[in-house]
Structure 1
Amino acid sequence: MVHATTGAVPQSRVGFVVSKAVGGAVVRNRVKRRLRHLVAAELGATTSPRDVVVRALPGAASAPARLGDDLSSAWRQVMHRLSPGSTRAQP
């Protein structure tokens, strides 16, 4: 799950939320490391500063192969909503 808004500072910021529902401390840290790596690639293609929160759902630990595809899809959707000229209202 990805939430974003237009950045208030000249640099993009990203936060991660990985609850205990995902797993134990080792599993949560592994998911956060994977997400950091994946977000770095997505953030490189973002043209304007954004404040982003990435929330890992419990399935993130059990299906790590899908994590990249799920993040990319959610990232594209939220960035499209923030783009100028988007017809969809922002939440």
Structure 2
Amino acid sequence: MLPAQARLRRRPEFTTVVRSGRRAGRPTMVVHLLPERPAHAGGEPARGPEARAMTPSGARAGFVVGKSVGNSVVRHRVTRRLRAAVREELDRLPATADLVVRARPEAATADWADLRSDLRRGLDRLLDRRAGR
């Protein structure tokens, strides 16, 4: 399980990452990375002392697993596997990064090694591009 502060939860946060971030397509997923989240990532901006408390202090991740992947049981299994794979890779990301992983229908039949490999390769591509290589 990812800690609560490491998860994207609101629709505007997902939308910002998908629209403004970089994307790497893999056979089982599409990885979206926004290396620098906006000051007010989604929703109404917070004011006062609560603004500092609400500011996330590390990389965050969110998952999109639609009905095209499969039924509820399959979608939840894919989400759990993706969450575990992202947990292993989260420390590679900048502290201000937001990540969205969108599962493709092929993720339903992929094994753990394939999902992990696709995530690593997608992140390698995005992080190398960010570093200017």
Q: Matched residue pairs, number?
A: 85
Structure 2: gaps of 5 or more residues: 1-29, 38-55
**Paired-residue identity, %:** 42
- Which of 93, 107, 130 lines up with 1:46 in the alignment? 93
1:24 corresponding residue in structure 2? 71
Structure 1: gaps of 5 or more residues: none
2:59–2:94: 8 Å Cα contact kept in structure 1?
A: no
- TM-score, normalising length: structure 2: 0.58
Superimposed CA distance per residue, residues 5-52 of structure 1 (whole angstroms, 9 cap, x where no aligned partner): 123253211110111110000100000000000001111233442111
Superimposed CA distance per residue, residues 58-91 of structure 1 (whole angstroms, 9 cap, x where no aligned partner): 00011224111111111111122223xx15xxxx
Higher relative contact order (CA 8 A, sep 6+): 1
Q: Once superposed, what is the RMSD of the aligned Cα atoms?
A: 1.6
- TM-score, normalising length: structure 1: 0.82
SS of equivalent residue, structure 2 residue 67 = coil
2:35–2:94: 8 Å Cα contact kept in structure 1?
A: no
1:36 corresponding residue in structure 2? 83
Deviates more, 1:32-41 or 1:1-10: 1-10
